[in-house]
Amino acid sequence: MKVIVEENEQKMSESAMFILLGAMMQDKRVNISLTSGRSPKTMYDMMIPYVKDQDKFKDIQYYLFDENPYTDKEFGPNWTDMQNLFFKPANIPDERVHIMNSENYMNYDEEIRQAGGIDVMVIGLGWDGHFCGNCPRCTPFDSYTYKIPFPEKQAVNPTYQDRPTQPFTLTMGPKSLMRVKHLVMIVNGKEKAEIFKRFLDEPINQDVPATILKLHPNFTVICDKDAAALIDSTKKY
């Protein structure tokens, strides 16, 4: 695991963006998986001008790594968020965005493997130590893409609000991420300082499921100084 501490969110986002762009410049089909949420917004804003309407990136394929499908809508919130954050502004056509649903999730990992695997994935660190849809105390560490009923997640973490039209979560599991060629985690903001310290300092455990990712053979963690405020700067991670 390589930990990079940048001065601020702008520098953190720039570092992550250049990793993505470097992978995208390969002269072949490149498969990328991206996260939604607040942490990557600056990165996407910076990246859109580089990517939009560029013919050299026509072979880039995008894979969503989790979803909470609605029972009354065609697409889930992760797809919608990524459309708004990046895909629409960058003019990424829908046919290059691959999503998981209740029909294909059991074959999702094999489809990705047949397509050459994920070249680079950018994820965030959740406020409670989750990654993708893998939440505390209900993450099977030996799992590829799996389905978890929402009531199970709520049972171990009552702070999750009711979602009557989203009865389950689909997510790439720890084993799915271990197959990714370059895994990148971005962490920013002082509100992430405590969980970031726990992620770095604690052994692999179910209370902070992201700790399992420290086993990944090519894992880069990029944070800003606010997120790194509580870590021991003299310690080598």
Q: Which residues are catalytic?
A: 66, 128, 130
Dihedral, 212, 236, 2, 171 alpha carbons, nearest 10: 20
Dihedral, 26, 32, 35, 36 alpha carbons, nearest 10: 90
Distance CA 24, CA 60 (A): 7
3-state secondary structure 140-159: CCCCCCEEEEHHHHHHHCCC
Distance CA 133, CA 230 (A): 26
For 100, list phi and psi in degrees, rounded to 5: -105, 145
CB neighbour class for 232 (10 Å; exposed up to 12, middle 13-18, buried from 19): exposed
Dihedral, 188, 159, 134, 93 alpha carbons, nearest 10: -70
